[in-house]
């Protein structure tokens, strides 16, 4: 029952994009706290389970950028995060916990 309630609560986020706009020059940690921590937790280990844990991510930086900007299975898109702010956010996510980021060549 709790899982059903969670799915029903999160469903609207899947169907729409976030209007979040980072402050100009915001660093990755600040953007993460403002836009990501509510679901992914302060430490990136997730608040809701399986799909929200970033600590074991093996995504390449370009893959992360695509998911952030276009959204994912349960994640709204954050199309307003781009440029240096997007690069900083991805670098911050990769630095969380035991993230195993595959280095791009």
Lowest mean pLDDT among 39-53, 56-70, 77-91: 39-53
Q: Is the distance from CB of 90 to CB of 102 less than 8 angstroms? A: no
Query: Range of 63's domain?
Result: 2-95
Q: Is the distance from CB of 60 to CB of 104 less than 8 angstroms? A: yes
Length of the chain: 105
Residue 104 covered by a domain: no
Number of domains within the chain: 1
Residue 47 covered by a domain: yes
Tokens of 55: 């600590």
Nearest-10 Cα torsion for 29, 77, 102, 96: 30
Q: Which percentage of the chain shows pLDDT scores above 70?
A: 73
Q: What is the CATH number of the domain that holds 8?
A: 1.10.760.10
Residue 48 covered by a domain: yes
pLDDT per residue over 36-62, tens digit each?
999 999 989 888 766 688 888 888 999
Residue 35 covered by a domain: yes
pTM, 2 dp: 0.77
Residue 85 covered by a domain: yes
Of 56, 61, 67, 69, give the one whose Cα is nearest residue 100.
Answer: 56
The Cα 27–Cα 64 span in angstroms is 17
């Amino acid at each position: 029952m709790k899982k059903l309630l969670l799915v029903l609560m999160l469903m609207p986020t899947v169907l729409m994009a976030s209007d979040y706009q980072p402050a100009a020059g915001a660093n990755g940690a600040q953007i993460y706290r403002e836009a990501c921590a509510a679901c992914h937790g302060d430490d990136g280990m997730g608040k809701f389970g399986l799909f929200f844990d970033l600590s074991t991510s093996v995504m390449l930086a370009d893959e992360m950028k695509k998911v952030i900007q276009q959204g994912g299975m349960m994640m709204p898109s954050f199309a307003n995060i781009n440029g240096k702010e997007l690069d900083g956010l991805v670098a911050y996510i990769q630095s969380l916990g035991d993230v195993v980021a595959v280095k791009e060549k």
